Amino acid sequence: MPPRLAVLALALVACDPAPTRDAGVPPPRPDGSVDAAGLDGGDGGDGDGGHSDAGPEAGVDGAVPSTCGASAGAPSWVVALAPHRVLAAGTTRRVEVTALADGVTRLRYLPIADDVEVPDRSFALVTPASELAVADTVAVGADDAGETLVVCTDRATVRVRRVGGRVTVTDAAGRVLVEDTDEAVGASAVARATPTSEPFYGLGEKTGGLDRRGRRWTFWNTDAYDPAFGGYRPDQDPLYASIPFFVALREGVAYGVFTDVAYRLTIDLAAATPEVYRVESEGPAIDQYVILGPRMQDVLRTYTGLTGRAPIPPRWALGFHQCRWGYSPDARVEAVGAEFRRRDIPADALWLDIQHMDGFRSFTFDPVAFPDPNGLAARLEGQGFRVITIEDPGIKVDPGWSVYDRALASGAFLADARGTPYEGVAWPGPSSFLDFTSPDARALWAGEVAALAARGVDGVWLDVNEPTVFPESGGMAEIPNDLVAAGDGVPTTMAEARNVYALHEARATFEGLRAARPSERPFVLTRAGYAGIQRYAAMWTGDAPSTWASLRQTPAMLMGLGLSGVPFVGSDIGGYSGHASPELFARWMEVGALSPFARAHVTNGVPDQEPWAFGQEVEDISRHRLRERYRMLPYLYALFAEAAATGAPVLRPLVWEFPEDAALAR
């Protein structure tokens, strides 16, 4: 890490006169990004990946550079939609090519029939695709006797064959980075050549090793809990979040591909065929952004310029968090806090799981176990603790309860085609679910979050937001795909909205906390998400079982999320299922203390999992490791400042710094 960042972190800490509040930090934008200008003196801190403010028509040059190897003028089967955007009608699909700034090419694979409507929208991008800055120089030509479209910029050359609508993308050095094969036809699938030596990183929250090559991955937000494992299996897929973005290294040169498709998606990285990767969507089209490097740092900067960057967290959120399902009543929560202070183990936050609620209704407190939430929060704050509560998206069907009544009256629930609100079984029993793709539903939720903050709650934990319904709901215990969602003005169904459900819920939560405490940085933790979730929330790896196999793959899972643009990540220290051995907890604490987000958490009905619950030796190890973490906070803070400015991960694999070392690539 550059020394200037360490110095910067110390300066930032020194400049904050109130350790428990976060004054003097540029406020987040409405999309959740933070203006990080001045944090490192570099560019890219404005949340737009360094793009210019030029409009779509800026800087277009009709001359064909000599490197294109093409004649001037588009082929007859190509329509110019704008100087930087063309639509090619191949024999099996149409391909729309858009030349964007910063070495980005947008490729839309569309149905051959032009009467099939495919909305041009994204749930992930900070800026609508139509408003993204374009390449300074764009030229369109033809090759192969008019059978190949050629689109050139100073960074890339895109060639589209009429037969099959096959695409090739090369960089300025002539390296082929994208090469469609004829193994996939139509608009919902692409197949591409990949050298056997090419590793793939990212793809969000995935099990296994750092290199994703050799497996077929599914993107469909899923409650992955398997009772036989007390969590998810070591090789389980899919998990809770869907981030269909990868970074690849081809001959030491990095490039990225973001498949901006919210429908159920699969990406086969040379599992079925050793030298081919495939992308297949259950939606009508595939929308991709090919991002040139040449370094991994360049790819992440540009990708997070498109999807947003994580704001710097509140400093207290970088401390240690203690949680469990079962902290009830309030006296037990206070006793846990007092024990941390008595034993001199550093910690900054205590968490309340669903047992704090009144009948599992979100935004409520059990009147017997938690009769005075404001008083509890004040007493814990006096001990130096913040309070975070869990909130679930299933709203209890309970006429007379104000939250349910207002949501029902405003049409804020997911409903069938007739407008009847869906009811499924969740923790409160029969429940309806807010449609977070509706601004009205987000406003209602944000208002409840703001009211929660007024009761002393400092952060919000979003769980079961894949969203999850229980088996009693029938079928495969998933919300039906045919439910209608508002789609932010372009109606759709849950077949498309499921993967982005948690993204919009996190946005509403972030906005509610910011409205309640505008001078503070919001803290949100989410289990599920989609590309862009980093703008609003931290993530943890869900119900990781308390096993050595689970601990072993945790670092790779966290680094994979970081290489997917999500830097604020952690795991349940000790594992979720409980009954961890003393050594397993101690080793997990060693990993957790060096993770960007450090929280111990465990399920209900199992032995205690606080650091002192495993004997004196483990308590001493935990105290030592956590004290080390607190001594490193200036360094950690600086890494988060860098992440906010550039999109770089906080927890980084060695290949990030040494991509030329083949031994580190896998």
Closest CA to 238 of 256, 226, 255: 226
Contact (Cβ atoms closer than 8 angstroms) between residue 550 and residue 643: no
Helix (H) or strand (E) segment spanning residue 380: helix 373-382
Which of 109, 633, 63 shows the shortest CA–CA distance to 348?
Answer: 633
Q: Provide the residue type at 106 as one letter.
A: R
**Beta-strand (E) ranges in 183-331?**
189-193, 200-202, 216-219, 241-242, 245-250, 253-259, 265-269, 276-281, 286-292, 320-322
| 472: confidence class by pLDDT, cuts 50, 70, 90 | confident
Residue 558: strand, helix, or coil: helix
From the candidates 237, 543, 610, 642, give the one annotated as an active-site residue: 543
Task: Indicate the pLDDT class of residue 475, thresholds 50, 70 and 90.
Answer: low
* 3-state SS assignment for residue 319: coil
Q: Which whole-number Å values give the CA distances from 312 to 65, 303, 474, 534, 535, in the listed order?
A: 43, 18, 42, 11, 10
Q: Alpha-carbon distance 224 to 205, whole Å? A: 12
Grouping H, G, I as helix, E, B as strand and the rest as coil, residue 413 is: strand
Helix (H) or strand (E) holding 404: helix 402-409
Find out whether the peptide bond into 480 is cis, omega within 30 degrees of 0: no
Q: Positive or negative CA dihedral for 344, 347, 348, 351?
A: negative
- 573 vs 45, more confident: 573
> Considering the chain, what percentage of its residues have pLDDT values greater than 70?
89
Tell me, what's the pLDDT at 60? 37
- DSSP secondary structure code for residue 367 in this structure: T
Residues 87 and 84: their CA atoms lie apart, in Å, by 11
Strands 148-152 and 156-161: antiparallel
Q: Which residue did the predictor score with more confidence, 9 or 393?
A: 393
**pLDDT single digits (tens) 622-638:** 999 999 999 999 999 99
Size (the chain), residues: 666
Whether 139 and 65 have beta carbons less than 8 Å apart is answered as yes
> Do the Cβ atoms of 597 and 625 come closer than 8 Å?
no
**Res 45 pLDDT > 60:** no
Task: Check pLDDT > 50 for residue 422.
Answer: yes
The one-letter code for the residue type at 47 is G
Average pLDDT over the chain reads 91
Q: Please say if 463 is a catalytic residue.
A: yes
Contacts of 26 (CB under 8 A, 6+ apart): 34, 35, 36, 37
Rg of the chain, C-alpha, whole Å: 25
Say which range, 65-69, 155-159, 662-666, has the weakest mean pLDDT.
65-69
Mean per-residue pLDDT for 132-151?
A: 96
The closest alpha carbon to 510, from 537, 479, 544, belongs to 537
Q: Model's pTM, two decimal places?
A: 0.91
pLDDT in tens, 104-117: 999 999 999 988 88
Catalytic residue among 40, 392, 463, 610: 463
Contact 248, 199 (CB under 8 A): yes
Rounded CA gap, 110 and 94, in Å? 5
Handedness of CA 556, 561, 565, 568 (dihedral sign): negative
- pLDDT of 372 reads 98
pLDDT, mean of residues 563-572: 99
What is the average per-residue pLDDT within 42-51?
34
SS3 category, 467: coil
Cα–Cα distance, 343 to 338 (Å, whole number): 9
Neighbours of 567 (CB within 10 A): 30
Q: Under a CB-based contact definition with an 8 Å cutoff, are residues 334 and 380 in contact?
A: yes
What secondary structure letter does DSSP report for 415? Answer: B
Kindly tell me if the per-residue pLDDT of 80 is higher than 90.
Answer: yes
Beta partners for 97? 86, 107
- Where does the pLDDT of residue 146 fall: very low under 50, low under 70, confident under 90, or very high at 90 and above? very high
Q: What percent of the chain has pLDDT over 90?
A: 85
Return the pLDDT at 213: 98
Identity (one letter) of the amino acid at 16? D
* pLDDT tens track for 277-309: 999 999 999 999 999 999 999 999 999 999 999
**Which letter does DSSP use for residue 470 in this model?**
-
Element (H, E) at 106: strand 104-110
- Closest to 55 in 3D by CA, of 127, 117, 5, 103: 127
Phi, psi of 421 (to 5 degrees): -60, 135
**Would you call 154 a catalytic residue per the annotation?**
no
Residues 6+ apart with CB under 8 A from 595: 558, 569, 570, 571, 651
652: left (phi over 0), alpha (psi -120 to 50) or beta: beta
530 alpha-carbon distance from chain centroid: 5
Amino acid at position 23, single letter: A
SS3 665: helix
**Taking a C-beta distance cutoff of 8 angstroms, is the pair 266, 297 a contact?**
no
Residue whose C-alpha is closest to residue 445's, from 455, 436, 454: 436
pLDDT of residue 185: 85
Q: Is 440 a catalytic residue?
A: no
Q: Which residues pair with 530 in a beta bridge?
A: 242
pLDDT reported for residue 477: 77
Name the active-site residue from 198, 268, 330, 466.
466
Among residues 496, 490, 96, the alpha carbon closest in space to that of 287 is found at 96
Note the pLDDT tens digit of each residue in 179-202.
999 988 899 999 999 999 999 999
Work out the angle between the directed axes of helices 3-15 and 633-646 (0-180°, nearest 10). 100
Q: For residues 104 and 117, what is the distance between their CA atoms, to the nearest angstrom?
A: 25
